[in-house]
Amino acid sequence: MPEFPAKTMTETVGPRPGELPPLEVRGKASRIAVASLIGTTIEYYDFAVYGTASALVLGPAFFPSGNATVSSLAAFLTFAAAFLSRPLGVALFGTIGDRLGRRRALVASLLLMGLATVGVGLLPTYETAGLLAPVLLVTLRLLQGVSMGGEWGGAVLLAAEHAPPGRRALYAAIPQTGPSLGFLLSSAVILPTLNLAGRDGFADWAWRVPFLLSAVLVMIGLWVRTTVEESPVFAESAARTNRPPVSRFPLGTLVMRYPGRLLLGTGAAIGGSAVYYLTIVYSLSYGPKALGIPQNTMLTAASVGAAAGIAITLPVARLADRVGRRPVMLTGAVGCVVWAVPMYASLSSRNAFVITGAYTVGLMLLALMFSPVAAFLSELFPARLRYTGASAAFILANTLGGGFAPLVATWLNSQWSSPLVLGFYTGALCLLSLLCLMALPETREAEFDS
């Protein structure tokens, strides 16, 4: 089977016979997309809470060593551990999503994430339970990773496969704002908790509050997700008796049939993953500890930048529906390559306004890369491998570019004590994304119901 078919079918410009009128189609698609967004926001809230807590308190609480760098490395190692278990989530939830339906996979992934996150909030620390404490922390963190392996692909597919013709990137981008919204929601909980309890109180007990609040959010998310309809593309594909049955192991079929798309799709998203995780996870620890920047300054800069990225996500996606995915993503990749060094160099100024401005520009450039990526990766694969294919490419990029970024950055800064190394490291990964995007075809006109 060729990697990229020479001929693709264009999208239809209106509803087919028997379909809902355009206004009803858009209304239904919007409800599905918002439902996907709510679930994704909750999942990434859980993930962001752990990332922020690992930067602030989890090292000393679960990995006391007497050495701040060693404790931070241990905490970030547990952060990376969840990325190692994400491929298992891709295999598990990809199989459920491609064989049994997108909605079932999404409900299961959200429930698993909620149980793991609340579990972290109830854990005893090393002082109380000894070695059992970090073992339990790593176990729950691995379960979070399994959940995240199935979340992203299902959420964007449910939105994209319900989208009206010509608006696939727009609707797929709605749940794509979930990671930044989840981070903002976590900051909205952590900042007041930190201010009310104080640094010592937060490190002692109040760090548990954001984790335990996840129980309420997950209940809301489960209610929302159980009320949405299954993807019409999946239902139509499953109902066609003249199609071969779905593979019992879609991930294996994907690797055998579409290795080039999988590798290039992963590379296309790897640079943006590094920008995101170095900005909203690693720098929250690096700025205060290495450069003496106030914690609130770093949280505020990351939050303002994330909000700016959210603000342009949907307009960028609409542009990608009009001009294509590649032109928009290539522009973002070039911008991230150029801006990576100045963005992290701003930390040397220790000036709140300079840092916030630099982060805002950087995360807006990231939005150019990540807003169309949900539709782009989905369009690279046929319907019966789409959940697994889109999830695998994005999750591998997150694992390689994002999950290990704090660890790599911590090591780099132990060798060269300058924030410039963060810029060079990030810029190199964004350059890799640029090259992979140049090797991939435009997918805006791709057939989506096969």
Query: Using CA atoms, how far apart are residues 407 and 12, in angstroms rounded to an integer?
Result: 47
Place 321 in a pLDDT band, splitting at 50, 70 and 90. very high
Query: What residues contact residue 382 under an 8 Å CB cut-off, 6+ apart?
Result: 450
Q: State the maximum Cα–Cα separation within the chain, in Å, rounded to a whole number.
A: 70
Q: How far is CA 255 from the centre of its chain?
A: 22
Q: List strand residue ranges (DSSP E) for 163-250, in order.
A: none
Average pLDDT, the chain: 84
Buried b / exposed e across 280-305, counting CB within 10 Å, b at 16+? bbbbbbbbbebbebebebbbbbbbbb
- Residue 79's CB: how many other CB atoms inside 10 A? 28
Q: How far is CA 306 from the centre of its chain?
A: 13
Query: Using CA atoms, how far apart are residues 416 and 157, in angstroms rounded to an integer?
Result: 42
The DSSP output letter for 249 is S
> Shortest CA distance to 154 belongs to which of 391, 385, 376?
391
Is residue 444 pLDDT above 70, yes or no? yes
Question: Range with the lowest mean pLDDT among 73-77, 282-286, 391-395?
Answer: 73-77
Per residue in 107-123, pLDDT tens? 888 889 889 989 999 99
- Fill in the amino acid letter for 375: A
* Helix, strand, or coil (residue 226): coil
- What does the CA dihedral 60, 63, 64, 67 come to, rounded to 10 degrees? -90
Per residue in 241-257, pLDDT tens? 455 555 678 888 899 99
Query: Using CA atoms, how far apart are residues 224 and 227, in angstroms rounded to an integer?
Result: 5
Query: Using CA atoms, how far apart are residues 39 and 49, in angstroms rounded to an integer?
Result: 15
Query: What residues contact residue 300 under an 8 Å CB cut-off, 6+ apart?
Result: 352, 356
Q: What is the pTM of this model?
A: 0.79
Place 320 in a pLDDT band, splitting at 50, 70 and 90. very high
Cβ–Cβ < 8 Å for 11, 448: yes
Is residue 12 pLDDT above 60, yes or no? no
- What does the CA dihedral 395, 396, 399, 400 come to, rounded to 10 degrees? -150
Is residue 65 pLDDT above 80, yes or no? no
Composition of the chain by helix, strand, coil, percent to 5: 80, 0, 20
Per residue in 376-402, pLDDT tens? 999 999 888 888 999 999 989 988 888
Q: What Å distances lie between residue 33 and 29, 105, 311, 336, CA to CA?
A: 6, 16, 17, 28
Per residue in 33-52, pLDDT tens? 888 888 788 878 887 788 77
User: Higher confidence at residue 240 or residue 309?
Assistant: 309
Per residue in 349-368, pLDDT tens? 999 999 999 999 999 999 99
* Helix, strand, or coil (residue 191): helix
Angle between helices 283-291 and 405-415 (to 10 degrees): 20
> Shortest CA distance to 87 belongs to which of 175, 2, 148?
148
Cβ–Cβ < 8 Å for 94, 396: no
* Helix, strand, or coil (residue 131): coil
Buried b / exposed e across 141-175, counting CB within 10 Å, b at 16+? bbbbbbbbbbbbbbbbbbbbbbbbbebbbbbbbbb
Cβ–Cβ < 8 Å for 330, 438: yes
Place 4 in a pLDDT band, splitting at 50, 70 and 90. very low
Put residue 97 in one of left, alpha, beta given phi > 0 → left and psi -120 to 50 → alpha. Answer: alpha
- Fill in the amino acid letter for 400: L
> Shortest CA distance to 306 belongs to which of 282, 283, 286, 280?
280
Give me the percent of the chain exceeding a pLDDT of 70: 88
